Amino acid sequence: MSFTYHDGTRALNGVNLSIEKNESVAILGKNGAGKSTLLLTLPGLIMGEGHIAIAGIELTEKSVRAVRKKIGIVFQNPEDQLFCPTVYEDVAFGPNNMGLSKEEVERRVTGAISAMGLSGFEKRSAHHLSHGEKKRAAIATILSMKPDIVAFDEPTANLDPEGVHDLKRVINSIEKTKLIITHNIDLALDLATRGIVMDKGKIVADMPIDELLSDKKLLKDLKLYFD
Ligand SMILES: Nc1ncnc2c1ncn2[C@@H]1O[C@H](COP(=O)(O)OP(=O)(O)OP(=O)(O)O)[C@@H](O)[C@H]1O
Ligand SMILES: [Mg+2]
């Protein structure tokens, strides 16, 4: 997969990777490495050159809707995913657009809200939640669509230590294929079993996370840091 932005920036340059069902994979790399761009290509939010298949479906203009049901992205800024008057409506938004019965929508919304520890928050406005609560609400909006794969872009950015702890627990409780973008190696160790390191739009390492952790030279070269 390769991708060049309109201004000529080549953000992805021949990225080739394959992720197994139920794997938890951390995507690491310094600022500008191409991590977020890679994430945007997966559900076809941007179209690069190359070939993508998600849960066995080839990504094409025709299949893009089907592909988007299989992969959910939790963006770095939860405000990007919370735009309804209440948390309940935010979490119901996806399922309502999937043509599900009212009962099924209700079941999914209640399930996702409870899984994210937000029972009792249904009628609150997401805009008045704490950042950690917003993050969990944003994850609930994805879980209610029951994707096979959930991808997180810098999930713990701007959270305090308790918020980080909370979010790690929440992410670890999600039993799906997970992609976690971070430049924090500790987070990668806690959430993933495999680490993929990107640099300048390419994959420069792909190995079990504990092996990555012991490669001090690689970590230093790529400016990956510990808490
Ligand atoms: N909308 C855009 N238009 C032009 N160039 C872009 C755009 N978005 C990103 N880029 C460029 O593409 C490259 C990869 O950016 P990307 O956001 O994917 O990196 P990243 O690894 O997610 O970085 P960070 O850790 O800072 O989030 C960078 O050189 C960046 O400047
Ligand atoms: Mg990014």
What CATH number is attached to the domain comprising 206? 3.40.50.300
Is the Cβ atom of 7 under 6 angstroms away from ligand 1? yes
Task: Name 23's Cβ contacts closer than 8 Å, sequence gap at least 6.
Answer: 177, 178, 193, 194
227 occurs within a structural domain: no
d(CA 210, CA 188): 10
CA angle 66, 145, 34 (to 5 degrees): 70
- CA nearest to 222, candidates 189, 195, 183: 183
Residue nearest to atom 31 of ligand 1 (CA): 32
45 occurs within a structural domain: yes
Task: Name 107's Cβ contacts closer than 8 Å, sequence gap at least 6.
Answer: none
Using an 8 Å Cβ cutoff, are 111 and 142 in contact?
A: no
pLDDT value for 225: 66
187 occurs within a structural domain: yes
117 occurs within a structural domain: yes
From residue 168, alpha-carbon distances to 55, 98, 208 in Å are 25, 29, 19
226 occurs within a structural domain: no
- Domain interval for residue 188: 2-221
pTM value > 0.75? yes
Residue nearest to atom 4 of ligand 1 (CA): 5
Using an 8 Å Cβ cutoff, are 12 and 37 in contact?
A: yes
- CA nearest to 26, candidates 193, 138, 176, 214: 193
pLDDT value for 104: 98
pLDDT value for 226: 65
Is the Cβ atom of 35 under 6 angstroms away from ligand 1? yes
Domain count across the chain: 1
Is the Cβ atom of 70 under 6 angstroms away from ligand 1? no
- Stretches in the chain below the pLDDT threshold 70: 225-227
